[in-house]
Amino acid sequence: MRIAVFGWYGHENAGDERLKYCLNFYLMSLGGVQKIDFYDLHENAIKGKTNQFDHYDLIIIGGGGLILSQANYHEFISGIQTKLAVLGVSVETELTGNPKKFAQALLEKSTIFLVRDQGSHEKLSALDINKKVKISSDLTFLEPYETTGKSEGNAIGINLLAKISSRSFIRSNPIANSILNRIGFPYNPKIISFREVVSKIQEKFDIKPIPFYCVKQNSNVVDCQKNDVNIMKKYFENVPASFNHRDIDKKKFFISMRLHGLIFSIQKGVIPITFSTYPKQMNLMRDMGLGELLVNIDDPISIMSHIDYALANEDIIKEKILEYNDNSRSLIKKDIQHLMNML
């Protein structure tokens, strides 16, 4: 069997590259698969219909928050003439316009449709006439990192990214944004500052910055487009140039603005804390019953009360994340085994 997988691969993002590794490792371990090729979904989908991938026995769309782009992906999906499965995806936007058409094309073409959170399932329910969509898990649970044991000392991990402020005029005014882009004016809206947050946390803890998105960039990249390494250099002197999962080990908790920072934290048995930045982070915390560790992004300094809650309820929280880890691992393996048995 030959399989083609489409996601956000090849961009030096630790979460997506781990998705690739885990899916490849697990499918090859099942036997009967001769070749798996990974492709960038956006790069291929914007070209429209094609027969370039018809020689594969299975097309996989996933994993990741792929139902997001306003570009035209649905024509590409509609043109696929072989079996298609959607695995471990989430919906990261409202289903209108092209994202809605993309979701409809996936629902029409797919043999199986696995989303990784309850929120995505709810968004798709109105379109899911044939009840194909099933809640499963993120694909990294196919081969999760090992639990590292009880935290030691006073160290925590942190991952910050460039988040445009909701008070930014350009963010709230798409017409102004469009005009500035047409005349070639640099798009550099105001981003949220975490300087006060970092200062407060450093009064109590030793902080280890942990970047996930580490693609090489020119020095003149505007703040809103900086990778994790460069954005965290605004707050820390010693930021690693690349991701190392061992940096998460045995931390008291991991504050991560990236979903896979939370997921890897869960897999390692480290308490995750995040901000209400994107649906995927919020959905994960709510699915685990850990809404108390979800910080309002419009009031980032309130994180201190969430940290106090985490410290006061450490044992209970760890029970929840370890249970979630075990259930997620079992569920995604069962679901993909079912898919392979259907082929």
Interhelix angle 259-268/279-287, nearest 10 degrees: 30
Q: What pTM was estimated for this model as a whole?
A: 0.93
**238-256 tens-digit pLDDT:** 999 999 999 999 999 999 9
Which residues, listed in sequence order, are joined to residue 139 by a DSSP beta bridge? none
Cα 268 to chain centroid, rounded? 17
Arithmetic mean of pLDDT, 66-78: 96
Arithmetic mean of pLDDT, 299-323: 96
Arithmetic mean of pLDDT, 196-217: 96
Give the SS3 label for residue 212: coil
Arithmetic mean of pLDDT, 6-17: 96
Q: Which two tokens stand for residue 33?
A: 């698969």
8 A C-beta contact, residue 59 and residue 82: yes
CA distance 343 to 329: 22
Close Cβ partners of 113 (under 8 Å, ≥ 6 residues apart): 85, 86, 106, 107, 124, 128, 132, 133, 134
Which residues, listed in sequence order, are joined to residue 134 by a DSSP beta bridge? 114
Interhelix angle 314-342/303-312, nearest 10 degrees: 90
Count, in order, helices (H) and strands (E) of the chain.
Answer: 13, 12
For domain 155-325, the question of CATH label 3.30.1490 is answered with no
**32-66 tens-digit pLDDT:** 999 999 999 999 999 999 999 999 999 999 999 99
* pLDDT tops 80 at residue 152: no
**155-167 tens-digit pLDDT:** 999 999 998 876 5
Residue of higher predicted confidence among 94 and 182: 94
Q: Which two tokens stand for residue 232?
A: 């965290």
* pLDDT tops 70 at residue 312: yes
Residue with tokens 């798709």: 124
Q: What is the DSSP string of 258-309?
A: SHHHHHHHHHHT-EEEEES-SHHHHHHHHHTT-GGGEE-TTSGGGHHHHHHH
Q: Which two tokens stand for residue 20?
A: 């690739």
Burial class (CB in 10 A: 0-12, 13-18, 19+), 289: exposed
Neighbour tally for 194: CB within 10 Å: 23
The amino acid that residue 255 corresponds to is I
Strand 64-67, strand 35-40: pairing: unpaired
Cα 43 to chain centroid, rounded? 19
155-325: same fold as 2-143? yes
Pick the CATH number of 2-143 from 1.20.1530.20, 3.40.50.2300, 3.90.420.10, 3.40.50.300: 3.40.50.2300
Q: What are the sequence ranges of the domains in the chain?
A: 2-143, 155-325
Dihedral over alpha carbons 189, 282, 211, 226 (to 10 degrees):
-10
Ramachandran assignment for 31, one of left (phi > 0), alpha (psi -120 to 50 degrees), beta (any other): left
